[in-house]
Structure 1
Amino acid sequence: MSGEVGPSVAARDDLAGVVDLFEWLTREELSRAVSELAFKRRSEVDADAIADAIDVAVAEYALVPAPREALSTDGNGVGEAADPLAVGPAAFPSLPADAGDLPHILDVPERAVDREALSAAVLDRLSTDAVAAIADDDAERLEVLADVTYDVETWAPVDVAPIRERIVAELDGE
């Protein structure tokens, strides 16, 4: 049986579930994981479609770019890992079928995420994204970011109220 992998493999929460298996993955590793899952299903997946799905998950804060200082492997630093991603505040991680085999297939070292450093980076990104959306007068993006502010507060011990208040004021035309 052949064909394209359905949306369930590339859904943002499935992507988050795959990343959650490892604590963090690079974009390349996540793309490879999705390709491996497709292979196990005897399906094909387009590399551009995977990249697009990852971009959507990042834009929606299901996955978040992780600063190197928030990441470690086997007690060591990350080194030159390109584009590391961690599970973000808007994710409800779920594992796609056969994902339990991925730790054996990908063969990556034990990894950890410093949640405090990751939370600070997400808060900075949220603030930057809000400023950009306000400058662009992008109400749709502001709506997404307003929802994300609630997710961030339940995900990490940070105060997002000032950002949310600014977003809501902009949406209300104040």
Structure 2
Amino acid sequence: MELTHDELAGVIDLFGALSRTELVEAGEELAFKRGADFEDDNVDAALAAYRLVSFDHDTIVERDVDERLLAAGPTAFPTLPEGAEDLPHILDVEMRTPDRAALGAVVEERFRADAARAVSDDDRERIQRLLDVSYDLETWAPVELDGVRDRLDAATGE
């Protein structure tokens, strides 16, 4: 069983943030209910698409795990998969509330690096996708991306 990007974000959103290990455990619980195996291959794709974001827990939430944490990202439309409402009762995970401004700063740094790499590689498809992400990111967190967006626009040659 594979969860969509938005379903992964929905599961994470139930807790505010989860480690990858905790997300896999949640997926395995959901798959077990359906008599299936959980496939976590979609997590990396969701991260690449800014549906999920990864961050160092020390700067965003109180430390209660040793792994990086995942949160629903700026392009996510968190959706609960069938049976997910039971996960808070099944998993031994406390609610975590990432500071949106601090999380936004982490994602902005990643976004700027992604944008620079896309422009350097002249990856027009990625540039166009990042232009779209830039608007979502500005709505999602208190960041300003006008300068980066100008460079992305210029790189499209339009």
Give the shorter-chain TM-score range: over 0.9
Q: Structure 1 residues 55 and 135, CA, compared in 2 at 3 Å: closer, same or farther?
A: same
Q: Look up the match of 1:28.
A: 21
CA distance in 1, matches of 2:148, 2:64: 33
Q: Look up the match of 1:87.
A: 72
TM-score by length of structure 2 reads 0.93
Q: Say if 2:41 is the partner of 1:62.
A: no
Q: Look up the match of 2:63.
A: 78
Q: CA deviation at 1:79?
A: 5.1
Q: CA deviation at 1:29?
A: 0.9
Q: CA deviation at 1:170?
A: 0.6
One-letter code of the match for 2:103?
L
Q: Look up the match of 1:128.
A: 113
Q: Look up the match of 1:41.
A: 34
Q: Look up the match of 1:112.
A: 97
Q: Is the 8 A contact 2:51 2:73 kept in 1?
A: yes
1:41-96 Cα deviation digits (max 9, x unpaired): 112233xxx1x200111001010012324432xxxx22552131111100010100
CA distance in 2, matches of 1:121, 1:141: 20
Q: Look up the match of 2:12.
A: 19
Q: Is the 8 A contact 1:70 1:115 kept in 2?
A: no
CA distance in 1, matches of 2:109, 2:130: 13
Paired residues, what number?
158
TM-score by length of structure 1 reads 0.85
Q: Say if 2:3 is the partner of 1:10.
A: yes
One-letter code of the match for 1:71?
I
CA distance in 2, matches of 1:102, 1:81: 21
Q: Is the 8 A contact 2:57 2:68 kept in 1?
A: no
**Overall identity of the aligned pairs, in %:** 47
Does the residue aligned with 2:38 lie in a helix, a strand or coil? Answer: coil
CA distance in 1, matches of 2:65, 2:32: 28
Q: CA deviation at 1:18?
A: 0.4
Q: Look up the match of 1:155.
A: 140
